[in-house]
Amino acid sequence: MTQTSSFSALGISPEILEAIEVLGFDTPSSIQEQAIPAAISGADIVGLSHTGSGKTLAFAIPALECIEPEERCVQVLALCPTRELAVQICREVDKLALFMDGVSAVPIYGGASFRPQLDALRRGVQFVVGTPGRVMDLMESGALRLDGLRMLILDEADHMLDMGFAPALKKIVSRIPEKRHTQMFSATMPENIRQLAQTLLQEPE
């Protein structure tokens, strides 16, 4: 697939394009070029992508595009295997949302105090990035409500399954709206990931 010259060819809104410019990105990577327009147009996505290929932007940009800023509820949930990755994704999302008034992301992970995470949820955050265990805990306690969810993202899906998160993932997915978009990214595509994709995604690109 030939490289387009710029992010502006991918159907991204002006506010996010402005943030991309500030961040100094000029040419989209292969995964960004393929995933962003498809996801913005409403398709579910399966991305085979290694760390460093630019996949965070590939899923974060379409996720931000689907958010209604004035709605103070969780509209995007990104699940990932580690707290480090959750924090890193949130940093990227906040940078991309620089010119989107009132849009913010919060990382939710175990091994840390519940209080700041609960406070952020009470303030009405739209983008939650978390590890499956803590996300499930907060859902079960009623602190994390996902009835307004528009998009689910699974990042490093193969690592999440390797780490034994399959039961938590199934439980989370069983409690979120069926009418949603899903993006799944994985460095490898073994049989268990294929099966997960089949159960979670509708005719993915």
pLDDT digits (tens, 9 = 90+) for 40-67: 999 999 999 887 889 999 999 999 999 9
User: Which segment of 93-97, 113-117, 122-126, 193-197 scores lowest on mean pLDDT?
Assistant: 113-117
pTM beyond 0.85: yes
pLDDT reading at 4 higher than 60: no
pLDDT reading at 94 higher than 50: yes
> What digits encode the pLDDT tens for the residues 102-153?
999 999 999 888 888 999 999 999 999 999 999 999 999 999 999 999 999 9
Question: For the sheet containing 151-154, what is the strand order?
Answer: 45-48, 181-186, 151-154, 76-79, 127-130, 105-108
CA atoms within 13 A on the CB side of 85: 18
Of all helices (H) and strands (E), which one includes residue 46? strand 45-48
| DSSP for residue 180 | S
Q: Per DSSP, what are the bridge partners of residue 107? A: 129
**What's residue 49's pLDDT?**
85
Query: How big is the CA angle at 185 (ends 184 and 190), to the nearest 5 degrees?
Result: 95
**What's residue 3's pLDDT?**
52
pLDDT reading at 1 higher than 60: no
- State how far the alpha carbon of 50 is from the alpha carbons of 9, 72, 188, in Å: 24, 33, 8
Are the C-beta atoms of residues 82 and 72 closer than 8 Å to each other?
no
**What's residue 139's pLDDT?**
96
Q: Which amino acid is at 199?
A: T
> What digits encode the pLDDT tens for the residues 8-33?
999 999 999 999 999 999 899 999 99
With the C-alpha atoms ordered 65, 70, 72, 73, is the resulting torsion angle positive or negative?
negative
Residues 6+ apart with CB under 8 A from 155: 55, 56, 59, 78, 79, 80, 85, 89, 185
pLDDT reading at 5 higher than 80: no
Length of the chain: 205
